[in-house]
Structure 1
Amino acid sequence: MQPDSIVFGGAGFIGRSLVAELLRQGHAVAATVRSDGERLTSWLTGQGVPLDGLTVVQSDITRLDLRLPSVRDVYNCAARFAFGLGLEEARAANVTGALNVLDWAATLPDLRRVVHISGYRVSDSGPSDERLGAYEASKKEADAAVRARARELGIPLSIANPATVIGPGQYLGLADTVSDLWHGRLPALPGGRDVFVPVVDVGYLAAFLAALAEHDDERENAYWILDDRTPVLSHLDRLLAAHMGVRAPRLSVPVGLLRRLPRALTGVDPETLPFLSTDRYDTASADIFAKRLGLRMPPIEAALTTWADDLVAARFGATPTPPGPYGYQTVAGVRTWVAGDRERPAYVLLHGLPLDSGSWEHVIDRLGAPVLAADLPGLGRSGPGPIGGWLTDLLRPVETRPVLVAHSLACLPALQYAAAHPDRLSRLVLVAPAFLQAPASRLSRSRLAALLLRRMPAARLARTIGLTEGPATTPATTPATTAAAASLARPGAARRMIAAMRASHAMRQELRELLDRVSVPVEIVVGSADPLTVDRPVTTIDGAGHYPQLTHPDELARIVAPV
């Protein structure tokens, strides 16, 4: 199948979404990539996009040499986006490369239109080039150069000027602000309370771009594509803070002051300052075009909060985005990170200290059935709050009788729930129940508390919690311990963990007595290097320590889900 459309920069954040949109519409698409196309095809497969109409082409727009005479629609999504670029490096892709695309398009016998992706800050009302970084200066230069070259060559041209594009996989720009907010590194809002940083959903943008080649009937046109309903930055900040269960900064620092203060003090890249503006943009032409075609932006608050969930799920780009569903929900008044099926799970998994629900990832992969997992209040990705009544509210929508699996500290709420609601569970699995094991000495608990408060790195955290007790192939640092270290660095997280440890230690005898009264079938699982100190029937995993879900997921999954 010969391509009728080509997307330059097809593996980029915008480019891949446009490729997916065109393929879904039945187009034959050539997507250019600078290296291996595996990243693009894997992403498309994960989105359920058919690949039979896709042609992946290795190409660099700075040295363009292609023969695809069947192409009629040309989309240029290729750009070099980064702060701190040298001027020549930025110009090579953003100016020279963009002009190369136009020159190449002019050789196509059946060219219908070129769609060029520019930026929303390229208008003449923006700051002078002397105050711009290399990236933004090159995009502004390219905007004018592309228009001039298209007129010279007689090429029909549509210029798209999208605002900050949000969606799964976008970890640049405004994502840094969301990351700082979640990690507690945003003491003051940069730019003042009326700063307007507009956004646009990547799915909407892809649909808009795909429509331009067919439906734009002007010889040359430009569209500012952004959601005018985007809250000003201070309100946007409060919206996302409330959604994620963190505090929003109360102070703001004007742009003028940020320019005068050293970057080492503010932590703000000078190249981002021109984006901290109160400017508004003329979206009339884009609004008319979208209305004519029936394109509608998603509700802005839902788009922002869904994107925030995507950022947190992928650890702000540190890990691949996991399969959904996932996101923040209110459980017993606590903003809680919830993943999986909340209505018909076969298993409910509760994590122990100092991990979060992501620590069950490899066990979940092996269970082969719907799972519900959540981060406990005040731990992992969840906001602070009391644990009393939390598990009851989490399981309130559940229509099945799942197996409840709890690790270490989480055995406390799991056991209390099983005693109160035996008819709601089919089985209770307690993994490394701390209340049945040797208590840590007061000295070791104090030492661990001191280490936690000093925000130890992931490698040291892994050694401290005993992950090296697993098999030799188990790395000292795992994604789970890296995530735990990052979560413990959030304000108040280490203190909440210490408080949870102390509360659990104080209830050891009470929990032992409660275990004797539970009528639900109970199975206790321990590692051979982490035995019980009481005489109870147990299932032992040979070679495991306190965290078999990390070191021995195969064995634990077979115990949790026996054939």
Structure 2
Amino acid sequence: MYEAERRYFGELAGDRAGGGGDRPALVFLHGLTYDRRQWGPVLRELAVVDPGRRTLVVDLPGHGGSPRRDSYRPAEVAEVVHGAVTAAGLDAPVLVGHSLGGVLATCYAATYPARGVVNVDQPLLVGGFAAVLRRMEPVLRGPDWRDVWNTMLGGMRIEELPPSARELVRTATTPRPDLLLGYWDEVLSRPAEELAAERTAELATIRSRGLAYRYVTGAEPDPAYRSWLETNLPEVTITVLPGSGHFPHLAHPDALARLLAGPSNGSA
């Protein structure tokens, strides 16, 4: 049974659970507009397959119970997450991030002490997404901003999820224009090539530190992206959990929990 201490860690609302041991803690970062409730199914499965594993699940800035910020640049949010990790008394965790959280987990591991990254369905190259988002930017900045978010949701294949997971996607979310514009600011304001260079540098740092990096996705990655990822991080492990769209952690929480409990994430 998953039981957690619920309070603020640094600036972030979160839940801390688990005991001691020499295995690295797992720090969970949700996706854009969602909150830490997204990880409930995984945490319950993890409590069965890896009882006592130390975990910290937080609401990212501006989400759930965590306060808003003037800026949501990845480096700044990673710093806030590090403050929460420090306040929780954790050292060099494995960062588990879904969607936006996957970018933040990657940024964090390249900047602060960490043992690894589990990136859940977040490609690190934004070229195609950036082009689409910039075409929609006038709508995003106007009264019909929700149309942009609904368009994004339409491509996430939520219909592939079981009913309970679809309900969690529908309810554990609070889309707002300040969140979308704030967290997408870099994509809207910086060239995609510049962002790609930044992600490439982060992967180089992760590789130089010898950190484990796993990419978990709901479908076979695009061949060009897979080639880029494996070129920059030859040690990457790619795991496909089919039939889960953009939410592998909700379609297959038991499978993800087993992956997190495995030797590559510090359980051995």
Would the TM-score normalized by the shorter structure come out above 0.5? yes
**1:479 maps onto 2:141 in alignment:** no
Whose radius of gyration is greater, 1 or 2?
A: 1
How many residues align? The count is 232
| C-alpha distance in structure 2 between counterparts of 1:521 and 1:553, whole Å | 20
1:510 to 188, 198, 201: 198
1:387 to 61, 68, 77: 77
**Match in the other structure for 1:425:** 114
Alpha carbons 1:467, 1:551 under 8 Å: kept: no
**1:402 maps onto 2:93 in alignment:** yes
Closer/same/farther in 2, CA of residues 414 and 477 from structure 1, 3 Å limit = closer
With the length of structure 1 as denominator, give the TM-score of the two structures.
0.36
Structure richer in helix, relative to its length: 2
- Paired amino acid for 1:387: V
Residues 144-191 of structure 1: CA distance to partner in whole angstroms, max 9, x if unpaired?
Answer: xxxxxxxxxxxxxxxxxxxxxxxxxxxxxxxxxxxxxxxxxxxxxxxx
**Match in the other structure for 1:30:** none
Local SS of the residue matching 2:42: helix
**Match in the other structure for 1:356:** 35
2:185 to 490, 495, 499: 499
After the TM superposition, which segments of 4 or more aligned residues of structure 1 sit over 6 Å from their partners? none
Closer/same/farther in 2, CA of residues 446 and 525 from structure 1, 3 Å limit = same
Alpha carbons 1:530, 1:545 under 8 Å: kept: no
Q: Runs of 5+ in structure 1 lacking a partner?
A: 1-45, 47-321
| C-alpha distance in structure 1 between counterparts of 2:151 and 2:41, whole Å | 20
Q: Aligned-pair distance for 1:362?
A: 0.6
Q: How do residues 547-562 of structure 1 correspond to structure 2 at under 5 angstroms?
A: 547-562=247-262
| C-alpha distance in structure 2 between counterparts of 1:430 and 1:512, whole Å | 15
Alpha carbons 1:437, 1:534 under 8 Å: kept: no
2:7 to 308, 327, 338: 327
- Paired amino acid for 1:534: R
| C-alpha distance in structure 2 between counterparts of 1:449 and 1:557, whole Å | 41
Closer/same/farther in 2, CA of residues 358 and 449 from structure 1, 3 Å limit = farther
Residues 236-257 of structure 1: CA distance to partner in whole angstroms, max 9, x if unpaired?
Answer: xxxxxxxxxxxxxxxxxxxxxx
| C-alpha distance in structure 2 between counterparts of 1:412 and 1:440, whole Å | 14
- Paired amino acid for 2:241: I
Alpha carbons 2:130, 2:188 under 8 Å: kept: no
With the length of structure 2 as denominator, give the TM-score of the two structures.
0.69
Closer/same/farther in 2, CA of residues 551 and 450 from structure 1, 3 Å limit = farther
Closer/same/farther in 2, CA of residues 548 and 383 from structure 1, 3 Å limit = same
**Match in the other structure for 1:252:** none
Local SS of the residue matching 2:124: helix
Q: Aligned-pair distance for 1:392?
A: 2.1
Q: Aligned-pair distance for 1:338?
A: 1.5
- Paired amino acid for 1:515: L
**Match in the other structure for 1:58:** none
- Paired amino acid for 1:325: E
Give me the identity figure in percent. 25
Greater RCO (CA < 8 Å, at least 6 residues apart)? 2
| C-alpha distance in structure 1 between counterparts of 2:101 and 2:160, whole Å | 21
Q: Aligned-pair distance for 1:503?
A: 6.8
Q: How do residues 55-134 of structure 1 correspond to structure 2 at under 5 angstroms?
A: none
Q: Runs of 5+ in structure 2 lacking a partner?
A: 48-52, 70-75, 231-235, 264-268
Q: Aligned-pair distance for 1:528?
A: 0.9
Local SS of the residue matching 1:478: helix
Closer/same/farther in 2, CA of residues 475 and 338 from structure 1, 3 Å limit = closer
Closer/same/farther in 2, CA of residues 329 and 523 from structure 1, 3 Å limit = closer
**Match in the other structure for 1:415:** 106
| C-alpha distance in structure 1 between counterparts of 2:66 and 2:19, whole Å | 20
